[in-house]
Structure 1
């Protein structure tokens, strides 16, 4: 239940409590996304926090210590919960705050909830131990776990009515999600290897003599730096395409996306400068730099700088 005050929807007390829970989850666990989400007006910020909290639950099941069979059961139970939300069978008296918040958000915004089914499908690929021979194989996985999040977020952001190219906004949001996920994969090479996972395509590993992954020493003569630089170029091309989304959004939604993408672009820059750093540990940005990127995103400065830099690189 909601009421309207001065043109804005005000959640009832139980729904507000559910949103507060999701915002706490986002603030504690969304190490990069939280900086962008804070730039949104309250209603969109709450909806994005609900989406994040549900997505976090799915990811935590996949990354947890349960046996594969138990993970599958938990993921299918989560899909059943999503079906209840989609069918409008979750009300403010439900005991699950994430379900309450997401159900309320789905009533307010045209969120394509099928994207969360795709996320569950992607995490099931992890549970099944899927391997990726080619970039096309990996791209299908990235579309499930990240591209879908971009399209879900677009349901909250909306686009300028009648804006040229607005019909391609879901495509751009999907591509930007791929760019972020590929950056994540590069950043987490060591952590994923410790968990028995290799995401980079086998074709690319072979091309640079890196064997079948990073669970042990690299083969003699391997060109790990060459592999990283190759994937960085691929990620930059995805960012360049995905950034076409920004002019289609209102100022604060565009600032949110620019801040989140800007943080990952700077991570990509660090990885490019020192490829072997990802083998030593997780590459990250200090909080003050993330905050700086968020401020630049609000002003549009960081996005314009990246766009000019990409043009210079393409014309060299």
Structure 2
């Protein structure tokens, strides 16, 4: 695979792990995956690895086809997370981390683990292990918490489930400095809140509500009201309120794109535009998200990604030319090469 070659990933077992992460990303994160294609080839496997890690944990918690009890899911998540943390702390060779014990590593996937790719990515980029601890803690909350009283309470959950995802990504995107971190946090929150609005019906099916109870109270909406599946005036006003909150997070995050390496900007700009478009689609569907899942159409995705691909290709070419010129002069250039 050209991406793995570009990233300098040679070990066969490690390559298999990265391929599995990529397959999960392509199958379950289509919008994000599309945006990732705008990155230089060597960066893409590492984004896939981070997505595969998150998706695998989510499968442990939420796989509706599994007969596992909540306690069994909690034990499985804990054991899987502990193996990951142990591999990081003890310096286990990434390519020898054993197979995952979770739904996405069953016979359908050949039992290939996403952990080696994740461990390798963490080490190459020096990612903060605390971000992964926070993520796993939020996933564990999904097994015991079915709602949040206030926005501040929800933010505690979203820190681990969304904000740290943005923070994990920052080193891969090569920021000019740490000033990009707050913007990445806001973008992670914006992505997740857009998903919460879109997935109200699906989350109710799992017994959870990710809109704050104070918001429901403000518009006279109860959980039973939502469960009835009737999108009336109060429900529309509730969803419009949360959409406005999400759009403010997108506005707050957008300036941070300029703080990234030029070869990373089109990827994140495309992701921002397409995730923000989810909110437009909810409005276009007259807020009917209780009985169905709205999505951004393929034509609209391509209309955004097509021009971005042209810009990204030009940015990659300019960087290669600048790097070659700098090397010829013996000068230092902004890095956009695989870390070793």
Global fold match (TM > 0.5): yes
1:187 paired residue number: 198
* 274 and 286 in structure 1: CA distance in 2 versus 1, 3 angstrom threshold: closer
TM-score under structure 1 length normalisation: 0.85
1:93 paired residue number: 96
Q: Is the 8 A contact 1:55 1:116 kept in 2?
A: no
1:310 paired residue number: none
Pick from 263, 273, 289 the counterpart of residue 278 of structure 1.
Answer: 289
Q: Is the 8 A contact 1:211 1:218 kept in 2?
A: no
Question: What does residue range 1-316 of structure 1 map to in structure 2 within 5 Å?
Answer: 9-64=8-63, 65=66, 66-87=68-89, 88-96=91-99, 97-160=113-176, 166-212=177-223, 214-216=226-228, 223-298=234-309
TM-score under structure 2 length normalisation: 0.79
When the two chains are superposed, the root-mean-square deviation of aligned CA atoms in Å is 2.4
1:308 paired residue number: none
CA distance in 2, matches of 1:296, 1:85: 41
CA distance in 1, matches of 2:144, 2:242: 25
CA distance in 1, matches of 2:287, 2:244: 16
2:316 paired residue number: none
SS at match of 2:8: strand
Runs of 5+ consecutive residues of structure 2 not aligned to the other structure: 100-112, 313-340
CA distance in 1, matches of 2:143, 2:97: 29
Q: How many residues are matched?
A: 291
Q: Is the 8 A contact 2:229 2:291 kept in 1?
A: no
| Residue range with higher mean Cα deviation, 273-282 or 238-247 | 273-282
